[in-house]
Amino acid sequence: MIEFFMKKGWLLFLTIVLFSLYFLIVKDEKAKVPKIQQSESFLEGVTIVHKKGGKKDWILTAKRADIQGSGDRAELSDIEVKVQDRGIIINADKGAYDMTSKKLTISGPITARDRDYTITSENMQFENTTGILTTDSKVRIEGKKFLLTGTGLQADNNQQKVRILNDVTATFHN
């Protein structure tokens, strides 16, 4: 009789060990699967057209827009913004568009080009209502005959004024 209980005890112990090993292996496999943080709602091939006075002011295209929270914010990827009247094209890796305030924040690297110069920075904020582009990051502005570098920028799209705010270095070419 003791032999019977010893066999059952040994079998029970072996069963517990095997189940424990199984759960450890399954848990390890689940841990190896990377979690991709994405929203439940998203759009692909997005175009946002902003009009001012009945005319197109700028057009944003993005490869993807992940709708956040209550639907008033979109995280954008692979962005291009064309400012219609000025001929400026802004390219960025990612950004966010607040549908309530109409504020566009883009992060980079960022390149803004027109026919006379190129601006590059790591991130910028575009205030749609004022047409002002700002950043606190390092900035590089390169034209046909000049190179400006510094930290911080304020560019007024309506008045066509660009200011580098700190640590400005200017190089002019003939």
pLDDT digits (tens, 9 = 90+) for 73-106: 899 999 998 987 778 899 999 988 888 887 888 8
Helix (H/G/I), strand (E/B), else coil: 49? strand
E strand or H helix that includes residue 25: helix 2-32
pLDDT over 90 for what percent of the chain? 30
Give the tens place of pLDDT for each residue, 33-70.
Answer: 444 445 578 889 999 888 888 888 889 999 999 998 88
Give the per-residue pLDDT at 5. Answer: 47
Give the per-residue pLDDT at 107. Answer: 78
Average of per-residue pLDDT across 114-125: 87
- Show the domains of the chain with their CATH numbers: 64-172 (2.60.450.10)
Q: Where are the alpha helices (DSSP H) in 33-54?
A: none
Q: Which residues on neighbouring strands pair with residue 125, listed in sequence order? A: 105, 134
**Whole-number Å distance between alpha carbons of 53 and 36:** 41
Give the per-residue pLDDT at 91. Answer: 93
Shortest CA distance to 90 belongs to which of 169, 153, 148? 153
